[in-house]
Structures are given as structure tokens and as C-alpha cells.
Structure 1
């Protein structure tokens, strides 16, 4: 079962990584701003195709090699997990190296050909667009938190009936494979981790809701529709993820309290179902919406405004991945390579959002 899970995950990563260049706005390529009039440059298009082709070929080789090699040997699940994780991280590392290579190539191409020198850089601001924002209300994100608090209260009432050893980790087969002695802390540790995750999701939602809405200077009406759709679907996807994680962790907590609640089939099916739903939802979100709503169909026919392009802010993007701008009040900004949001590392709050939840989860785990 572990082998099947990792093969599915590796295949998913291959598909997503190979597709990323074509899920972005046309004005972005490998973390570099492409001015209006150069978005269909043949060299840039060729780089995208080469990146995707290399990813697919290497991915298929790794996928088939792992499957054939694992089937020819009687490997333990721990060994399969270790090798599967190594292949995933190794493949992602190769993808990053390829990305940096093409990022450098396009940066040099842009400079050598002086793209956009004859265009006026314009930043569009629409003060009324906030009233049209359809992101989910913040209060809705409190619902999973309330469920978790309720589970903590219920756990307290059932403390005397709980087993002496509390599961702290579950293997690929859905069965617990690590335990901790029962204490008032260990029985709610899983729920405390869940609260940290939910708090992080809530924080991300609040900060993305406050982030700037960047419109395309050449196609302001089209980009407005796409931006609003992107923000709406992103908030739904984030809430769905938070709710699904709550269901999974809540189920594991209830099984810990009531030992006979989940048989082997249910314990295997529940985490697998969670994984498949998350993967499918992620793929639908990425291919339906695209970065910044670039794949949203817009019925409004709009021709590009002549002689203008967006403000080139490549200087704030380190390697086209890390955004560092102290003058930008937005804590979260749209990614340049990938679908979703990234942190403004020029703002101190960004570091708190990134590192505090991680440190809290590590601290809870160490006290078990």
C-alpha cells in the first residue's frame, strides 16, 4: 500500500511541475516579468516546452524505476517510505535547478533585447474593487476551530476511559506505529497541532484578504475579473483544506478515545480518501483557476491598451521566488512560479506567519 501511495504522489508532482509554466500569467515566465508585446516570444515558449519535457521524461524514468525496483524486492514499508520521500525531494530539487537555469536564461534575454524599453510602465489602482471581492468571510474559518475546541472538551470527559498508550503517529496502512504514555497533555497533543494548523489557515486567509489586488495595466477589465475569481476560489480551497484536515484529525482523535470505532478497512480508507480528495482538489484548482486567475474564461472582449505595460518589479523578487519589498504593506503576494501565494519576506509579520506555527508544532511533538 505504501508503494501505491508514493507512486500516486510522485505522479501528481510530475504532472504539476511539468504544467506550472503554462498555468501562469502570460506576463510571467520563470519568475521574470514579460512586458506586453513580448508574451508570445518564441524563445520563451520554447523554454517552457523544454522545461516541461525534461520534467516529464525524468519523472517517468524515476516513477518506473521506483515501481520496478520496489516490486523486485521484499521491502519493508519503512524502506519504501524513505526511498519514496527521497525520490520526491530529489525530483523537486532537479525542478528547482531547471527553474533557476531558465530564470537566468530569460533574464539575460530580456536585458540583451531591452524588452519593454518603448513601453510606459503603469500601475493600475481601483479603489472600488474591494467592494466586489467575494472571498469567504473570516468568521467561517472559526468553524473548524470551534469543532477542535469541542473535541478537546470531549477528550477531557473521556480521559479515564482512554488507553494507557496514546498513538502519536500512523503508518501508510492507517495503523498507529508510535505511542506516548497517557498524560493530560498527550491525549490532546494531536488536537493542539490541529489548532495551530487551523490558526495558520485563518491567518493566511486574513492576510491574503488584505493583500493588494494587482490589475493588468493593458487589460484592466479582464484582469479585474480574473483577480477576483482567483481570490474567491483560493479562499474556498483554503477553507476546504482546513475543514478536511479537521475531519481527518478529528477522526483519529475519536478512534483514540473509542478503540473499537475504526476497523482496519476504515483506518486505511479514511487517510487515503483524504489524500485523494486533496490531490484532486489541488489539480482542479490549479488547472481551472491558474495563477492570478489566468485560466478563468472572461467573456468581456478587451484589446490591450497600446504603449503601456505593468510596472516591472523584478528587483523585489530574488531568483524570481522570494519577494522582499519593505515598502509593500501586503504580507502575502501572488507567486511568480506556481499557483497560490507566497510571503513578503520584507515584512516582519511574514516571518512570524512562516516560522511560529512550525516552531509550535515541533515544540508540541518534542513534549510527547
Structure 2
């Protein structure tokens, strides 16, 4: 069952990587800003198609290698556990290298064709767009947090029912494979990690809400639709992940109190179900946002362009702009949000919870 989990992840990873260039914002090609009137350039379209084709070939090779070793039948369990993540890392590494190759080619094409040199850059402002924002309010994220506090309270009440060795890690088969000594801290370590993750999702949602809504001066209606769709569905998607994590971690916590709560099959099925829901949600989110506003009519205005902010995007992936108060901005390659690395609050929201989780894992 565990090798099927890795295979599903590999196929999903390849499919997402292939689709990314076609789902990114219209005016950003491999992280490079392209004025509207040049986005249909044949060279740029060929770059996208070539990237997708190379990722597809990479995926075929990766799946073939994985299936070969799995069906061979004489590989150890430890080797199987290492092979899946190794192939996934290889796909991410090679796809990243391909991205930077096509980023350089796109940037070179833009400079050679002098796109934007004679265009007037215009910034669009719409004071009414905030009233249409459909992101979830912050207090909705308190619902899974309330469940976590309930789990912590119930855990402390049932402290005497815990075994002397507390599980700290679960393998692909759903069974615990690492333990620590029972004490008041270790019995609630898992809910504390869950609580930290919930706070992170809450923080990301709120800081995203406060970030600027950037509209296109050449496609105001389409960009408004895309921005509002991105904000709405990212808010719902983060809430879905928060709820799923709450359900999964709460089940694992209750299973420590009641070891006979479920058999091994349920333990193996839960991570797969969790992963499938996340993957399906990711696809729906990417397609909804990627296609948002594309049906809106577009008549490029000669001599006008949106702001070219290439100088703030390092490698087309990392946004660093001291003049932008936004903590999160829309990605240039992919669908979703990335940090404004010039804003220190973003480091606190993203990396603070990671440090806390690591500390709980080490001392718990």
C-alpha cells in the first residue's frame, strides 16, 4: 500500500509541473513579465510546450524506474521507503533546473525584442474591489482550533490511560514506528503541533487579506476576476487543509488513548484519503484560478503596459520589494501566493511555526 502512495504522489507531481506554465498569470511567462500584446509570441508558446514535454518525459522515466524496482519483488522495505522520496526529490530538482533554463531564455527573448521599451507603464487602482473580496473571515479558522483545545483537555483527563511509551511517528502503513517516554508534555505534543499549524493557516489567511489587490491596467475586468478568485479559493483551500489536519491528528491522538479504536487497514487508508483530498483540492484550486478571467474580452491598448516589476523578482520566484507593504503576493510561476521577502512579518508567520514544530518534535 505504501508504494501506491508514493506512485500517486509522483504522478500528481508530474501532472502539476506540466500544467504550471499554462495556469500562471497571463502576463508572466516563466517568472518574467511580458506586456499583454506580446504574450502570444510563438517563441514563448514553444517554451511552455517544450517545458511540459520534457516534464512528461521525465515523469515517464520516473514512473518506469519506480515500477521496475517495485515489481522486481526483491527490494527491501527500507529501500522502497527511500526510493519514492528520492524520485520525488529528483523530479523537483530537475523541473526546477528546467524552469531556470526557460526563465533565462524568456528573459533573453524579452531583451532581444525590446518588449516594453516604448510602452507607458500604468498602475491600476480600484477602491471598490475590496468590497467584493470573498475570503473567509478570521473567526472561521477558530473552529478547528476549538477542536484542538477539546482534544488537549480530553487527553489530560485520560492521562492515566496512555501507555508508558508514546508514539511520535507513524509509518506508511499507519502504525507507529517511533516512541518517547510518557509525561504531561509528550502526551499533548501532537495536538500542540496541530495547534501551531492551525495558527499558521490563520495568520496566512489574515495577512493575505491585508495584502494589496494588484489589477491590470490593460485587462482590469479579467484581472479583478482572477484576483478575487485567487483570494477566495486560497482561503477556502487553506481552511480545508486545516480541517483535514485536525481530523487526522485528532484520530491519531485518540488512537493513542484507545489502541483498539481502529485496525491497521484504517490506519493505512487515512493518510491516502487525506492525500487524495488534498490533491483533488489542489487541482480544483489551480484550474479555478488559472482559468479565472480568461473569458473576459481583451483589446490591448497600444502604447500602454502594466508595471514591469522584474527587478523585484529574483529568478522570477522570490519577491523582494521594500516599497510594497504586502506580506504575500501572487506567484509568478504557479498558482497561489509567495512571500514578500522584504517584509519581516512574513518570516514570522511562515518560519516561526516551523521552528516551534521542530522544538516540540525534539523535546516531545
Question: TM class by shorter-chain length?
Answer: over 0.9
> Does the CA contact (< 8 Å) of 2:221 and 2:293 recur in 1?
no
Residues 207 and 275 of structure 1: CA distance in aligned 2, closer, same or farther (over 3 Å)? same
Match of 1:36 in 2: 36
Greater mean deviation of Cα atoms: 162-171 or 304-313: 304-313
* 1:122-137 matches, cutoff 5 A: 122-137=122-137
> Does the CA contact (< 8 Å) of 2:327 and 2:346 recur in 1?
yes
Q: State the SS of the aligned residue for 1:333.
A: strand
* 1:325-336 matches, cutoff 5 A: 325-336=321-332
1:194 partnered with 2:157: no
> Does the CA contact (< 8 Å) of 2:327 and 2:339 recur in 1?
yes
1:86 partnered with 2:82: no
Match of 1:347 in 2: 343
> Does the CA contact (< 8 Å) of 1:166 and 1:180 recur in 2?
yes
Residues 299-348 of structure 1, C-alpha deviations (whole Å, 9 max, x = no match)? 65453334311100000000001100111100111111111101110111
Residues 58-81 of structure 1, C-alpha deviations (whole Å, 9 max, x = no match)? 111111111112221333333212
Greater mean deviation of Cα atoms: 156-165 or 305-314: 305-314
1:256 and 1:305 map into 2 onto residues whose CA distance is 64
Match of 2:16 in 1: 16
Residues 354 and 141 of structure 1: CA distance in aligned 2, closer, same or farther (over 3 Å)? same
Q: State the SS of the aligned residue for 2:168.
A: strand
2:185 and 2:173 map into 1 onto residues whose CA distance is 26
1:175 partnered with 2:171: no
1:230 and 1:356 map into 2 onto residues whose CA distance is 25
> Does the CA contact (< 8 Å) of 1:36 and 1:116 recur in 2?
no
1:313 partnered with 2:309: yes
Give the C-alpha shift of residue 298 in structure 1: 6.1
Residues 38-89 of structure 1, C-alpha deviations (whole Å, 9 max, x = no match)? 0000000000000110000011111111111222133333321211111111
2:79 and 2:152 map into 1 onto residues whose CA distance is 35
* 1:209-224 matches, cutoff 5 A: 209-224=209-224
1:149 and 1:304 map into 2 onto residues whose CA distance is 54
> Does the CA contact (< 8 Å) of 1:151 and 1:250 recur in 2?
yes
Q: State the SS of the aligned residue for 2:169.
A: strand
2:163 and 2:256 map into 1 onto residues whose CA distance is 8
* 1:1-368 matches, cutoff 5 A: 1-290=1-290, 295-296=291-292, 300-368=296-364
Instruction: Tell me the matched-pair count.
Output: 364
> Does the CA contact (< 8 Å) of 1:221 and 1:302 recur in 2?
no
Q: TM-score, normalising length from structure 1?
A: 0.96
> Does the CA contact (< 8 Å) of 2:69 and 2:75 recur in 1?
no
Q: CA RMSD in A?
A: 1.2
* Structure 1: unaligned runs, 5 residues or longer: none
1:19 and 1:13 map into 2 onto residues whose CA distance is 10
Residues 79 and 186 of structure 1: CA distance in aligned 2, closer, same or farther (over 3 Å)? same
Give the C-alpha shift of residue 288 in structure 1: 2.4
2:174 and 2:304 map into 1 onto residues whose CA distance is 56
Greater mean deviation of Cα atoms: 45-54 or 344-353: 344-353
2:330 and 2:219 map into 1 onto residues whose CA distance is 18
> Does the CA contact (< 8 Å) of 1:324 and 1:344 recur in 2?
yes
